[in-house]
A and B are shown apart, each in its own frame.
Chain A
Amino acid sequence: MSIVDLEAKIPNNVGLRENKRLMMALEKWQPKFLDWWANMGPSDFNQDQVYLRTAIGVGQGGWAHFDYVKMPDYRWGIFLADGPDDRKIHFGDNVGEKAWPEVPGEFRNRLRRLIVTQGDTEPASVEQQRMLGHCCPSLYDLRSLFQVNVEEGRHLWAMVYLLQTHFGADGRDEAEAMLERHSGDQDNPRILQAFNYPVNNWLDFFCFTAFMDRDGKYQLASLAESSFDPLARTTQFMLAEEAYHLQTGENGVGRIVKRTGEIMAEGKDPRTVGAIPLDVIQRYVNFWFTGSMDLFGGEDSTNAAEAFAMGLKGRYRESDGIYKDPKALNANYSLEMPTEDGKIEKKDIPLRRAMNAVLLDAYIADCKRIVERWNRDLDKLGVHQHIQLPDHKFNRHQGVYAGFRFNPAGEIIDEATWTKHHTDWLPTQADRDYVQSCMVHVTEPGKFANYIAPPPQGVNNQPIEFEYVKFH
Chain B
Amino acid sequence: MTNRLCYVCEGGDCTEKGSGDIFDKLRDLVREFDPNEERIKIRRYPCFGACEQGINVTLYPDKVFYSKVTEADLPEIAAHIAGKGEAVQRLTGKCEPDVEQIIWDMLDSPY
Which residues of chain A have a CB within 8 Å of any CB of chain B?
60-61, 217, 243, 246-247, 251, 315, 320-325, 328, 331, 333, 351, 358, 361-362, 365-366, 368-370, 372-373, 376, 457
Contact = CB atoms under 8 A, between A and B. Distances in A.
A247 B3 contact: no
A322 B58 CA distance: 14
B20 A247 contact: no
B5 A322 contact: yes
Contacts of A366: 106
Given A60-B20, A251-B12, A322-B60, A365 B111 contact: no
Contacts of A323: 109, 111
A217 B45 CA distance: 13
B12 A247 contact: yes
Contact of A61 (B2, B20, B109): B20
Interface string B48-67: 11010000000010000000
B72 interface: no
A153 B90 CA distance: 45
Interface of B: 1-3, 5, 10-12, 16, 20, 24, 41, 43, 46-49, 51, 60, 96, 98-99, 102-103, 105-107, 109-111
Interface of chain A, main secondary structure: helix
Given A243-B46, A365-B105, A373-B49, A351 B98 contact: no
B43 A372 contact: no
A324 B110 contact: yes
A60 B41 CA distance: 17
B9 to A, nearest CB: 11
28 contacts: A60-B20, A243-B11, A243-B46, A246-B46, A247-B47, A320-B5, A320-B41, A321-B1, A321-B2, A321-B41, A322-B5, A323-B109, A323-B111, A324-B111, A328-B111, A333-B111, A358-B109, A361-B109, A362-B106, A362-B109, A365-B105, A366-B106, A369-B47, A369-B49, A369-B102, A372-B49, A373-B49, A457-B16
Contacts, number: 64
Given A61-B20, A373-B51, A315 B99 contact: no
Given A325-B111, A333-B111, 11 more contacts: A60-B20, A251-B12, A320-B43, A322-B5, A324-B111, A331-B111, A369-B102, A372-B49, A372-B98, A372-B99, A373-B49
A369 B109 contact: no
Contacts of A217: 46
A322 B3 contact: yes
Contacts of B107: 322
A313 to B, nearest CB: 15
Nearest to A365: B106
A307 to B, nearest CB: 16
B89 to A, nearest CB: 24
Contacts of A61: 20, 24
Contacts of B47: 247, 369
A186 B107 CA distance: 43
Contacts of B48: 369
B11 A247 contact: yes
A376 B49 CA distance: 11
A358 B109 CA distance: 9
Contacts of B99: 369, 372
Contacts of A322: 3, 5, 60, 107, 109
